[in-house]
Each structure stands twice: as structure tokens, then as C-alpha cells.
Structure 1
Amino acid sequence: MSRFEILLPYYGDVALMQNAVRSVLAQDGDDWRLTVVDDGREPGVPEWFESLADHRVRYFRNDRNLGVTGNFNRCVKLAEYDYLVLMGCDDIMHPNYLRVIRAAADREPAAAMIQPGVTVIGSDGRPYDTLADRTKRKLYAPKGPGQALYGGEALAASLLRGNWLYFPSICWRTEAVRRFGFRDDLGVIQDLALVIDLLVAGESLATTPEVCFSYRRHAESESSAKAFTGHRFEEAKRFFLDTADRLEAHGWPAAAKVSRWHLSSRLHAVSLLPGAIKHAGRPGAGAMLRHATRTR
């Protein structure tokens, strides 16, 4: 009986997507299926999937571009099995991924989310250790046992202080995700918003330390001023402040306070200030400074 729906919302580099697909096809067992939802128009992609002739693979191409959040939600609607993974189309599953996830799901069947061990790679596929990832490991991630179950206000506060999860590597209980879906008004921070929705609803997160997934982190584009306009920080501030009010009303004052301060997000803006000055001038620098210095 199939348990795992591996969903690949695709847009962008064809070769990286094909490597991601091959890494899924290397999984063992007969309890999974790969569903690819193509939100682009790259030539030859439908033909490549047809040539696979693999009954474990479904391929859909959207009639129109849905954008990141829209494609995430279409993927969730297509999921039919008990668990789903929303894998990045440039990430890599190690051959042991589903073995690790199966063991964790059997150990913690009530968990809505399973976070396995992850390694970070760069655009070239080599290990890539960034300040953000070192901060996740050393400052924000729990220091307790590798196999653990977390939930409630403590986990909400921890993730709002600094989101140490690797969203594309997480295995989710399908029913729990479908209950909320991804917010249409968010384009960058929608994964954290979903996690908070689940925690407020009483759901939990299981962690397991065995590394079984490579998350690809691309360097901030040096040629694109878009990265430094501050739009994503405007979205983040709105999310954190709205969430603070929501958690206060829910009776989680400690998590609400962390969300209201959203210190890690503000520090991230500070770290981008030199690039903003270089690529976006005064408007970009002003956007970074506003996010870094204001909590309202």
C-alpha cells in the first residue's frame, strides 16, 4: 500500500530538476509515488517524463503559471497518500531518505511533520556552509536528542526566533497540511506560516538526525537588485506582527513576544545592507534599515 506522495513543484533549471527526479527514483520500496507539477514552459520537459515510462511517476503541466504558492497548493490537492513531501526541484534525496522517514513515521505516527537530517549544497552540488546554516545549527536548532518530538508554544517560539527547519526535506501528514494549505498572501514565508498554523492546532514535529537529504542553497544574486528591494522583508514583518497578535490571543505570550521582535529576520536585513547599497542604492538601503530597526 502506498504511503508517501513525493511532490515536485517545478519551475526553472531542467538539468537540476532531472537530477532531483533521479534521486527520487533511487528510493527503495513500493510505497511511494512521484508527482511532478510543471509551472513553466521549458521545451522538452513533457517528452523527457514520457520517456521515463515509469508507473511510479505522474507528470502535470499547468495551463497557466500559478506562481510558487499557487503551485504548492495544487500539489497538495493532488496528493492522495497518507504523507507528502514538497521537495525542491533542485534538491537531492539520498537513497536512504524514505528509509529514515518510514522509521520516524512508525515511531511517531501522530506527528504532522518529520524533519530528517540535512546537508546543504551549493549551485555546484558541493557542500556549502553559509552563515545562515551555521546559525541554524549552533544558535536556533534544539540541542536535545536527535530523535525527539516537539510542539506547542516552545516550538513556535523556537522557530519564530530562527527557523531552523529545511522545508523541502520535511515529510508532512497529508491530512494536516490539507486542512490549512499555503496562504495565498505570502510568497516567501509561507512555509513557516503553515508550521505555525499546525502548531496552534495542536500538531507536533518529529526530528530524526540521520542525514538523508541535500538542500541546495544558491548564493544571493549579485546581479539582481530585486534581492535588495526589501519586498520580502515587508511580507516578513507583516507576518511576524500578525502572528504576534494571534499567538497573544491564543494564550502563548512568550511566542508572541518572539514574533513581535523577529530578531533573526531583522539581523538578516542588516547582513544584506552592503548588497542593497551596491545594487539598489538608497531605496534598497532604506528598506533594509526600516526592517532592521522597526518592530512596527
Structure 2
Amino acid sequence: MVTFDFMLPYYGDVRLMQDAVRSVLAQTDREFRLVVIDDGREAQVPGWFEGLGDDRVHYTRNAHNLGITKNFQKCVELSEADYVVIMGCDDLLHPDYLKTVRGLAEATPGVGMVQPGVEVIDGAGRVTQGLADNTKKRLYQPQVKGTRLMAGEELAASVLRGNWLYFPSIAWRGEALRKVSFRDDYSVIQDLALVVDLLEAGERMVVDNSATVFQYRRHAVSESSVQAFSGTRFTEAARYFHAVAERMDARGWPKAARAARFHSASRLHALTMLPGALRRRHSEGVRALARHAFTSGQS
């Protein structure tokens, strides 16, 4: 039987993190390890974990704040199992998540990634489906009835066109993940970069929609958030798509290269953010968002 690690990089809302932990501990398949890496300073958190009294749970607090990318990299470094899940600290597992994912991994020995069925919840835990997720489902997600094995240029082109994956729900083959890990030079698009890096290394993905076993929490973008409308995330995205398009060309994956240069989902996302930046009169953000939305790397 393959082994599983749940790695939980934590920073933020204590209650939502506790709910996420409880959803792991409620798995019907009880053979796993949960490792929580706390990047915050909430005083009550260490004592709460100590009070769980569960030897499958391993808790550590960083000596100083590492930030998202470094904490994700630490999760990879501390993982040990055959398969690793790096779930969000506000996401929730259905009780049969591990049973389902373990079955998919064991049915396809050595598969690099397992993407199970996901539903989206809002900040209050209600099942929802906004514009971003409807777009993923209708325009970019491949049509899968039951289970499908994907790999190589087919999957690379698909996710570069529009990243329809739900990164925190994916189970990664530990050996492959630890060999590649997260890139230092990305803080927003690092999940897509990791998937493409693994595909270039020859890894395959099982996509399954026969059962919904993961709840991905999507919080509403606050109008009061300056960063949300600054366009900085799209500057990073444009840099990534330009670089990866050249790599796809060099690899002989022309469809993936074209998808990277056009990056239609990322451009559509920037377009949806433009009205908010205009309302805030965030001139720099408007320029960055418009540049990303209306410009592609197509020759």
C-alpha cells in the first residue's frame, strides 16, 4: 500500500485551519501522516495541536516568517511519503478523499499526479461556482467521464491555455515532487510552473471526476485590497508564459508553446479585474491589467 503525507503550510485564520485539520483527521482511510508547518504567530495554535493527542499529526512553527513560496518548499523538503498532498489551510477534505486518491494512485502505478473531483466553497463554507470556476469548467477543463490519464504536450497545452487544476487537491508522487519542487522566482504562478516542470520530466496525471472529494475555498476579492488590483500578479504571469513558451518550442511541443504565448485564461482574468482597478483609480494597476489582457506573445 502506498503511503501518504498531508502537508499543511499554515498562515492566517485559526478557525479555518482547525476545520481543515479536522477534515484530515476524519478520513475513512486512517493511514496517513499530517505535517503542519506554521508560518504565523497565533499564540493558541501550538497548544491546540498538542491537545489533539494524535501521533499521526506533526506540528512545527517556523522560527521566522518564510512567506508562501519558502514555506511550500519546506513542505516538500519535509515530506517523506510515496504521495504528498499540499492542501490549503482553509480547504476541506471529504471523508473519502484519501480512500479515493489512494485507489487512483494504486490503479495507475507510478503516476506523478492525481487530480480528484473538486467543488468550490466560499468564505462561509457554502458550495458556490463563480465566474472563474465556470470558465474553468466550460472553456478549459477537458471533458472527462470517470477517469482519464493525461501527460506530455496534451496536458501542458491544456493547462497553459487555462489552468483548470485545483492545486491543493492534487496528490503528487513524492519522489518526483522532491526532485523538482517549487521555483524560487515565482510567488503566484508557482503551482502551474510545478505542473509543467513535472510534465517536462515525463510525469503523468490521472484526472478523475467520478466523485467529489475535495472542497476548495475561494474567497471573494475585496474592493479594499490594493494588491488585488495592482496587476503585479499578471506581471509575474507574463514573465512566466514568455519563458515557458520558449521552453515548449525547444522541446518540440508547438501546441503548448502557442497556448503559453496566448495564455487566454490569464488574460481573461486580468480583463475581469480591470473595472475594479478603474473604480479605485489605480492608474498603474489599470495599465498593467490592460497590458496583460490585450497583449499576447503571439507572433
Q: Secondary structure at the residue paired with 2:119?
A: strand
Counterpart residue number, 1:6? 6
Counterpart residue number, 1:197? 197
User: Post-superposition shift, 1:271?
Assistant: 0.6
- Number of residue pairs matched by the alignment: 296
Q: CA offsets, 1:133-157, max 9 Å, x none?
A: 0111111111133201000101100
Could you tell me how far apart the structure 2 residues matched to 1:224 and 1:136 are? 24
Counterpart residue number, 2:102? 102
- 8 Å contact from structure 1 (residues 2, 33) kept in 2: no
Could you tell me how far apart the structure 2 residues matched to 1:134 and 1:164 are? 10
Counterpart residue number, 1:150? 150
- 8 Å contact from structure 2 (residues 144, 207) kept in 1: no
Counterpart residue number, 2:138? 138
Report the more deviating stretch, 254-263 or 116-125.
Answer: 254-263
TM-score when scaled to structure 2? 0.97
Residue 113 (1) aligns with residue 113 (2): yes
Report the more deviating stretch, 214-223 or 273-282.
Answer: 273-282
User: Post-superposition shift, 1:36?
Assistant: 0.2
Could you tell me how far apart the structure 1 residues matched to 2:95 and 2:223 are? 34
Could you tell me how far apart the structure 2 residues matched to 1:63 and 1:2 are? 32
* 1:224 counterpart letter in structure 2: S
Could you tell me how far apart the structure 2 residues matched to 1:105 and 1:280 are? 49
Q: CA offsets, 1:87-132, max 9 Å, x none?
A: 0000000101011111101111221000000010000000121111
Structure 1 gaps of 5+ residues are: none
User: Post-superposition shift, 1:285?
Assistant: 1.0
Q: CA offsets, 1:175-229, max 9 Å, x none?
A: 1111111011100110000000011111100012110010000011111111111
- 8 Å contact from structure 2 (residues 29, 96) kept in 1: no
User: Post-superposition shift, 1:2?
Assistant: 6.8
* 2:134 counterpart letter in structure 1: R
User: Post-superposition shift, 1:16?
Assistant: 0.2
Counterpart residue number, 1:284? 285
Could you tell me how far apart the structure 1 residues matched to 2:186 and 2:68 are? 10
Report the more deviating stretch, 27-36 or 74-83.
Answer: 27-36
Residue 234 (1) aligns with residue 203 (2): no
Cα gap change, 1:280 to 1:190, in 2 (>3 Å): farther
TM-score when scaled to structure 1? 0.98
* 1:73 counterpart letter in structure 2: Q
Between the aligned residues of both structures, percent identity stands at 56
Could you tell me how far apart the structure 1 residues matched to 2:227 and 2:234 are? 12
Could you tell me how far apart the structure 1 residues matched to 2:195 and 2:2 are? 25
User: Post-superposition shift, 1:279?
Assistant: 2.3
Residue 41 (1) aligns with residue 51 (2): no
- 8 Å contact from structure 1 (residues 2, 30) kept in 2: no
Counterpart residue number, 2:264? 263
Counterpart residue number, 2:206? 206
Could you tell me how far apart the structure 2 residues matched to 1:181 and 1:107 are? 25
Instruction: Give the 5 Å matches for 1:48-127.
Output: 48-127=48-127
* 2:191 counterpart letter in structure 1: D
Could you tell me how far apart the structure 2 residues matched to 1:21 and 1:30 are? 13
Residue 173 (1) aligns with residue 173 (2): yes
* 1:184 counterpart letter in structure 2: D
User: Post-superposition shift, 1:294?
Assistant: 2.1
* 2:88 counterpart letter in structure 1: G
